Amino acid sequence: MRSFLSLVFASIPALFVTACASAGSSELEPSFASPRQDAGASASTQGSSPADPASGVAVVPSGGDTTAASNCSDAAKLVYLVSKEKALWSFNPAVAGTGAYRRIGALGCSSTSAPQTMGVDRTGTAWIFFSDGSLHRVDTTTARCTSAGYTYPGTVAFEGLAMGSGFTALGGDVTKETLFLLHMSDGLETFEPHAFSRIETGKLTSLMGELTGGPDGRLFMFNPSGTPRLSEINTQSYALTTLKSFSSSLFSGVRSFALARYAGSFFMFTAGTASDGFSSGTTKTTVYDPSRDTIAVRDADIGFTVVGAGQSVCVPPPAIR
């Protein structure tokens, strides 16, 4: 994930400037007196809603066979979020409403800059890049943060990294995994966080987006700017194919965004402009189920600002239909 905040001051392609400059609020983003209030009853949808008719809350389809991930820890089977406020949160998509979000603790990372993007490996360790390029390891059970001793070399001219990241299973084998990075200048690359080994593909340069993978070895990118879309990246040819285009009103005025995938469904965490007209406000969570081609606002206001999301290859795989 990244924050759009600093992009307003940068000289970047018009596509991104247009997205960053849009500060209007969407009619799909109702205001709530309390961020803990369940937003499912007023969820906006495209196609038929995946909401539970009894509760009105968007639900996640149950995953398929999970035996391959049976040797993973329980912690490695959740989604994790890092906030603008430098805190680590867990997110359990199987729990309805804002009770799905649990604050684990504040990050004590040595960097004074802001977290930008996060990937989670199969041991349950989160790898977070900060806006100064520094990489940090975070224990997802305690939020304990340690420097990885690495700084990404390809920074850009404005504060923050135009970078997305996500782990996916190598060849669909959850005992093996690859961390992919997408940097707006350097394009798509693989990164070995223990050895600090980067391999640039030379593909998908000048693109901005957040990445996510899964136990099936697939790789996806979300970009809410322009025409918001979810795309799949072929991990062999690196070809980019649009999986779903969304209404621009659903992601109007996005300043910060992140992406996660659980049981085959995609969770897009987006924040618009705060009341000061300058910084990112609190985040809403939108869920897209490709098996039903449905999209709904799961939680309209979760009470904090997500700037990074990630899940390991141990999460439930897509359901077999």
- The one-digit pLDDT tens for each residue of the chain (321 residues) are 454 433 333 333 333 322 333 333 333 333 223 333 333 333 344 443 334 433 334 445 445 444 456 689 999 999 999 999 999 999 999 999 999 999 999 999 999 888 999 999 999 999 999 988 999 999 999 999 999 999 998 665 444 557 899 999 988 788 999 999 999 889 999 999 999 999 999 999 988 899 999 999 999 999 998 999 999 999 999 999 999 999 999 999 998 999 999 999 999 999 998 888 778 899 999 999 999 999 999 999 999 999 999 999 999 999 765
| Integer-rounded Cα radius of gyration of the chain | 18
Q: Are 165 and 178 within 8 A, CB to CB?
A: no
Q: What's residue 27's pLDDT?
A: 32
- How far is 306 from 269, CA to CA, in rounded Å? 7
Entry pTM: 0.81
How much is the mean pLDDT over the chain? 81
**Percent helix, strand and coil across the chain, each to the nearest 5:** 10, 40, 50
Instruction: Tell me the β-bridge partners of 230.
Output: 222, 244
Tell me the domains of the chain and their CATH numbers.
2-311 (2.120.10)
- Least Cα distance to 79 among 239, 242, 212, 246 occurs for 212
Residue with the two structure tokens 């100064």: 132
